[in-house]
Structure 1
């Protein structure tokens, strides 16, 4: 049991809480107050406003009308909503898996000593520094039917060009490729940092016992990468589920709803179809999904990494 001491007025304060009432802690919270107030203003207040709006029929210049859960009933009755949900999870799962695989592959390559490794690391990290709007515009040009590089390569091999962003079959795949290229360095640098922390004595001892490179990877490298890999994957899943820019700029969710994901769908419902109440209800559903991911992320972070 933790010890406790008596404070002014005879109030007994547990030892683990004494620091929070100390002068240093109070001064720290005082300096944090402006940041916390700004965060509440730009984040918490809009979230609460959005939740409240989901229970109203938004009237714009007219007074809002309270309709309870009717907006949620409308959302779940929309055939498009379930297509968009499927697209969102397919896009998120595929993108994160590909980013993890590509990032791990380059991390293994960069973990070896070779001439020009620092230059290669710098070049591979460059996509992570490029803004999403620039990535979207450049990859749109690469996928262009007449002038794009990918169709140019297909023509070299005698294959007819593909309307990458103009056909339902390829639109979501094309956006996913651009997203993977932009974000795989996050996995790469994370895995590379974790590999640097693996004791080299383990590899040397395993080699003495006759282990192959595959054995070293399966029984030493992967177990050490597993904790940080799980946490990184969940964090990137959160970012991917919430991503808007790349999909909106490259396809706007089209053609049809073939590449439509939840953030773009919310935008369409609110600002194109003027269904602000329905859009707010969809945003609340998305918020619940994100909170679920967030809770899993925090739990695994505590269990696997020990970040309490």
Structure 2
């Protein structure tokens, strides 16, 4: 057997690929096989199953009926879909910008020495550890018109008699976005803080000797060092936001009307409330293409920017 492997190596494979035929590689793949099978079962199969169903009219019970590209033609000419797409993009990208700014601000604060810094860091990290269901239920109580603390503060300050935070189409999407930002800004804060800890202090000392202000050091040292970290974080959080379901579904279910409706919640409603599995699958495929296109363009622009410097 070893002679056969050696002959394959000598005849067919470049030297850098020899390790693929080694005994260690064989056992490594053997141990990975159960995980790969589970991954294929819970991720790869549903993906291709969804793409397949998008070409059929299917309610989850009767046999699927072939409709070809009719679902996609219907979606692209459907006004309601574009309203929900706009909500989804606003929800994802506006939230990411706010998270990044808040996270950067707290990271700058925690990067300084002060009494109680460890306690402050722990408290600021708490939202990241709380389950989405708990966050959604607690923020619903905060937004309660009659008993919620937010409206109580507005009344106490004489600003307003209260706002219908999640009961009004004017405020619903923004209100859910606040809860999403509160839960996820620690991700940016912690990663930015780790990035700042990795910047050599000699650079700041040299800049100070040259007469640079703290703002100049931040612009020309801190931000360039944090750029690669920020690129990865914003890409990940944008995709997580585009794909998030729990918080919006528990807080508003996409209402009132479709004012806070985003694509993941709408796909769920079409599939499991209305029994339109085929149409829901087509919407999911369109959403997948949007996410892939965004990710590829984002990474391409980043590579071009870095390569041009």
Same fold (TM over 0.5): yes
Q: What's 2:161 paired with?
A: 160
Q: What's 1:104 paired with?
A: 104
Given the superposition, is the C-alpha separation of residues 59 and 141 from structure 1 closer, same or farther in structure 2, using an over 3 Å criterion?
A: closer
SS at match of 1:96: helix
Given the superposition, is the C-alpha separation of residues 7 and 296 from structure 1 closer, same or farther in structure 2, using an over 3 Å criterion?
A: farther
CA displacement, residues 33-61 of structure 1 (integer Å, 9 cap, x when unaligned): 00000010011111111110000011433
Superposition deviation, residue 270 in structure 1: 1.1
Given the superposition, is the C-alpha separation of residues 20 and 300 from structure 1 closer, same or farther in structure 2, using an over 3 Å criterion?
A: farther
Which moved further from structure 2: 66-75 or 81-90?
66-75
Superposition deviation, residue 7 in structure 1: 3.2
CA displacement, residues 72-103 of structure 1 (integer Å, 9 cap, x when unaligned): 11212221100000000011111000000000
Superposition deviation, residue 208 in structure 1: 1.3
Query: Does the 8 Å CA contact 2:169/2:260 hold for their aligned counterparts?
Result: yes
User: Which whole-Å CA distance do the structure 1 matches of 2:91 and 2:55 have between them?
Assistant: 29
TM-score, length-scaled by structure 2: 0.93
Q: What's 2:15 paired with?
A: 15
SS at match of 2:244: coil
User: Which whole-Å CA distance do the structure 2 matches of 1:300 and 1:118 have between them?
Assistant: 38
SS at match of 2:170: helix
CA RMSD of aligned residues (A): 2.0
Q: Does residue 95 of the first structure (1) align with residue 68 of the second (2)?
A: no
Structure 1 runs not aligned, ≥5 long: none
Q: Does residue 76 of the first structure (1) align with residue 47 of the second (2)?
A: no
Structure 2 runs not aligned, ≥5 long: none
Given the superposition, is the C-alpha separation of residues 11 and 28 from structure 1 closer, same or farther in structure 2, using an over 3 Å criterion?
A: same
CA displacement, residues 183-236 of structure 1 (integer Å, 9 cap, x when unaligned): 000000100000000000111111112211111111111111111101110110
Query: Does the 8 Å CA contact 2:59/2:275 hold for their aligned counterparts?
Result: no
Q: What's 1:137 paired with?
A: 137
Runs of 4+ in 1 over 4 A off after TM superposition: 296-305
